[in-house]
């Protein structure tokens, strides 16, 4: 089997939990976001590490993710960030997941499932303070939601939350307006419920948005969306096996479309990774990998299963050696941020794009 894999450091993840916890004020709870297969790191193992490290809650985007957490034996409270259809609501409530609601119709669906199961449903109300994605947008919508909840058997309102649209911006004005709106709406809510507003960006930049709990996502995986002095450690590294090494001469072309032509003699290494593994085709003729601690440029177009790189300055290279796509080798380092800059996206997408055919190997170091 090819030696192309992503290595997940559970120690680094747990250390990031400790680091963020130490940054929070006393009494502020930490929700670890594990949606989208824990940002591509593996939801079951990461959820377990979060629980071990002392996270208070887990956050997911859909019922299937919450059910996967429960099947892994994780007992932490789990919040689903968006409302569900009727069948999903029933499945989520069966597993004791905390639900989200922002319309009276959501409340009715939750109440129906709670009555069928003979149990109460914990619900967090989503407030839309300017993101204009989901949530109750004003006092009228929130009052209608609260009135429905007050009449619905089996529904317990236990929390309320919002999401910042521009918390990673150096200009705080939009976030200021959102936070002001949140304060205007939460006075309508029952006293004593759990309030939360901050994701990773606001967690690190706005203590006035910490409330009762913060939701840490990308920061727990070692990438800060804002400038910070906190020593966050990347959790994922990615390596691929070199399958072939050859010499080419001046005028020789590399890969589909002959988009690269050698200006002179070169040593070219073929690496067993491609866009089928999540190594973006946008890295054609521009991406880099590390071989023997040297940066080696991608030559020509990224193929589905392979890339070719310039290994001329990398010393002795042979089939079976490893190329590092994300991680450290020698004095050099490539991060998901670096790849995001080259491909015009964000590190979230870089991590998530590493496909399922890349095995995840879990380690403590």
Catalytic residues: 35, 256
What is the Cα–Cα distance from 125 to 146, expressed in whole angstroms? 9
What is the Cα–Cα distance from 204 to 224, expressed in whole angstroms? 9
53-77 burial, b at 16+ Cβ within 10 Å, e below that, comes to bebbbbbbebbebbbbbbeeebebb
SS3 content of the chain, % helix, strand, coil (to 5): 35, 25, 40
Tokens standing for residue 266: 């070169």
**Phi-psi region for residue 322, left (φ > 0), alpha (ψ -120 to 50) or beta?**
beta
């Amino acid at each position: 089997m090819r030696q192309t894999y992503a290595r997940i450091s559970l120690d680094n993840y747990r250390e990031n939990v400790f680091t963020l916890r130490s940054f929070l004020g006393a009494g502020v709870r930490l929700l670890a976001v594990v949606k989208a297969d824990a940002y591509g790191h593996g939801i079951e193992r990461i959820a377990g590490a979060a629980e071990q490290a002392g996270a208070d809650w887990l956050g997911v985007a859909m019922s299937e993710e919450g059910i996967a957490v429960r099947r892994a034996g994780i007992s932490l409270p789990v919040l689903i960030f968006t409302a569900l259809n009727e069948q999903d609501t029933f499945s989520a409530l069966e597993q004791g997941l905390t639900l989200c609601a922002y319309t009276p119709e959501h409340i009715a669906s939750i109440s129906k499932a709670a009555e069928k199961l003979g149990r109460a449903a914990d619900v967090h109300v989503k407030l839309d303070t300017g993101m204009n994605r989901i949530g109750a947008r004003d006092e009228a919508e929130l009052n209608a939601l609260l009135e429905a909840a007050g009449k619905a058997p089996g529904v317990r309102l236990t929390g309320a939350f919002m999401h910042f649209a521009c918390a990673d911006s150096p200009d705080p004005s939009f976030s200021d307006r959102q936070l002001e709106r949140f304060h205007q709406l939460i006075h309508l809510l029952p006293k004593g419920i759990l309030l939360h507003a901050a994701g990773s960006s606001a967690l690190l930049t706005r203590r006035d948005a910490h409330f009762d709990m913060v939701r840490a996502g990308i920061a727990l995986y070692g990438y800060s969306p804002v400038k910070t002095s906190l020593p966050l450690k990347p959790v994922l590294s990615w390596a691929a096996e070199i399958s072939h090494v050859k010499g080419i001469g001046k005028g020789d072309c590399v890969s589909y479309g002959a988009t690269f032509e050698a200006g002179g003699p070169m040593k070219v290494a073929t690496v067993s990774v491609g866009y089928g593994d999540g190594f973006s085709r946008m890295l054609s003729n521009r991406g880099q990998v590390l071989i023997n601690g040297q940066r080696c440029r991608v030559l020509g177009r990224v193929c589905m299963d392979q890339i070719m790189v310039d290994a001329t300055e990398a010393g002795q290279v042979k089939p079976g050696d490893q190329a590092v796509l994300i991680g450290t080798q020698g004095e050099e380092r490539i991060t998901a941020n670096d790849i995001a800059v080259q491909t015009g996206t964000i590190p979230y997408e870089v991590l998530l794009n590493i496909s399922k055919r890349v095995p995840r190997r879990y380690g403590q170091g």
